[in-house]
Structure 1
């Protein structure tokens, strides 16, 4: 069997926020669409899926995106955390993860304008401004709807829904939550001037457009505490792959100023390529570290050996893996033994929950 160099830093236990983690390996949030499509309730297959990774020694599991309301839904088969039945079903997952010594947080999600009325119970999608997205809805394969511009009351309702979902997550036994503020979904739509033409307190320059994110973060922290909360943010927009920040360093500095204002302690900067330079010879995560001395989760097509220098030099504190953990439920064991990882198979791992 082909042997790889063992990444010692990656496999070391770590105290992060409120959590004592068995390794610095993080399971990335990955949409699987295996919940009941009508009820948003997860079943035993999802219990087994997460327990298997926890039993292997993954330090921190971040779940697939969990929607905070029916109008937050952007594809079929996604789970929720807004009904009693959903909360009870997730408790089966968290109990199973804790039984084997794991730590699991719920990623809370609202897709905003990237949706369709057939997914939201007949309601129009919600967005900062009534600007339609070109393209087709994930899995449904129908054109995106024209979204409804959110009123101030709508915005306050959604902030409250994030807070309630966070409270529900704790009731379901999660160890904390991650807020999905990246990839062109609702929170990110407010930050994104192509999606946000507002002239009120939620529009304007980037700092002003971050007002919605800031209010969501404060509301969630009031329910779970700053040491049990992660924010995921990114330059990336799923519906606009060519989008780039005009001034990356200014943008990063503005986001981090807002994070400091909210009391956030753990951030998850998201990129497709961890090694890609975005400005002045620095990668996204290096630029983030320049302005942020709290916890950073690294992600972006990582592999166990190449991530070791970034952990050692302090660019990141934890390393998140996606497809390698789908293909290798025994990922941590394989890495600790120096064994070669199995290759990800799109068909097998997209359509089967293992």
Structure 2
């Protein structure tokens, strides 16, 4: 049954060795000052290069796009050089790696963006959302987000250009492609979801209008680096970071149709993954498969059996295993041989150094 996970798959010009994806996970260990990817991160990703595809952690496209302390950027020459260490290390191990391009919009605090007021689709504060700042110690200090200002046309054009440039920077840094982070309540999601967007211009109101910003960003990036190197991540049913949509099935089926028209190489759907969360409706997965002809990746609470079933059903082409990859650098081998999975230490997820990042061993069969 699990042989489905180990079939190769074509992704644009890449031939991937299996259908196991390491999805993007924030680890907040970029070098300071400058938020630069480093040798430690290169080792971390290279240890996990047996995944069919790695999508690296969210990487801000500008200083204003940063939501949390110590996350890496991809807008300075130093940051591009830092990421080159990572991509070289992954490629040396035979892996494939995409960059996840990230603008958090309102999910930040002035302390993380040089004292500026955050920007968003609308001047709506995300309720009950905290981010962490550098409080001068090794432990992050958590603070409430603030009210953003609504982006004007100028802001929108500027951010689209930042995404375009970041896509070019990612290719310069040696990434095989990029994933646009349009999920989990960050900037693009703040345009898409009805309850986070109260605009009255062509970027608000109807579903088509709320998807306009997504479409314009994708078009700018595909024109720059080619549609076969651009994937998009969406989160239709989560309410993460305070974004909620009134009609998620309609909205995100329309998003799938738009991404099909724009010919992106994959669509990556983050499912709700807390313990008692409802499953993504089957009728939605069928609608997405009908609307979008490219590669579909699902991630969230998958084990081997559930992942194999998703692939065999034809509704998914690849499956992301998030947290299991943290403590199991050799996850594909463990899945293949039914080796037990190690558990990660939640205390070392964000910030810190090598402990909890590089010290999880591969499985030793006795």
**Deviation at residue 63 of structure 1 after TM alignment:** 0.5
For the 8 Å contact 1:9–1:308, the answer to whether it is kept is: yes
Change (3 A) 1:197 1:159: same
Change (3 A) 1:270 1:284: farther
1:238 is aligned to 2:235? no
1:87 is aligned to 2:80? yes
CA–CA separation in structure 2 for the residues paired with 1:248 and 1:72: 25
1:126-176 deviations in Å (ceiling 9; x for gaps) = 111111222343223222122121110110000000000000000000000
For the 8 Å contact 1:37–1:78, the answer to whether it is kept is: no
**Equivalent residue for 1:9?**
4
TM-score, scaled relative to structure 1 = 0.92
Change (3 A) 1:348 1:116: closer
Q: What's the secondary structure of 2:110's corresponding residue?
A: coil
**Equivalent residue for 2:110?**
117
Query: Can you give the 5+ residue segments of structure 2 that lack an aligned partner in the other structure?
Result: 134-141, 359-366
CA–CA separation in structure 2 for the residues paired with 1:16 and 1:31: 24
1:345 is aligned to 2:345? yes
1:323 is aligned to 2:343? no
**Equivalent residue for 1:58?**
51
For the 8 Å contact 1:75–1:119, the answer to whether it is kept is: yes
Query: Can you give the 5+ residue segments of structure 1 that lack an aligned partner in the other structure?
Result: 1-5
1:212-260 deviations in Å (ceiling 9; x for gaps) = 000000001111211111100112231238x4x4434322321122213
**Deviation at residue 292 of structure 1 after TM alignment:** 2.2
**Deviation at residue 262 of structure 1 after TM alignment:** 2.0
**Deviation at residue 348 of structure 1 after TM alignment:** 4.4
1:91-143 deviations in Å (ceiling 9; x for gaps) = 01101111111100000000001111110011110111111222343223222
1:170-197 deviations in Å (ceiling 9; x for gaps) = 0000000000001110001011222211
**Deviation at residue 284 of structure 1 after TM alignment:** 4.6
Q: Mapping of 1:147-296 within 5 angstroms?
A: 147-235=148-236, 236-240=238-242, 243=244, 245-273=245-273, 276-279=278-281, 282=282, 284-296=284-296
Name which structure has the greater RCO, CA cutoff 8 Å, separation 6+. Answer: 1
CA–CA separation in structure 1 for the residues paired with 2:288 and 2:279: 12
Change (3 A) 1:238 1:284: same
Alignment size in residue pairs: 343
**Deviation at residue 314 of structure 1 after TM alignment:** 1.0
**Deviation at residue 329 of structure 1 after TM alignment:** 0.5
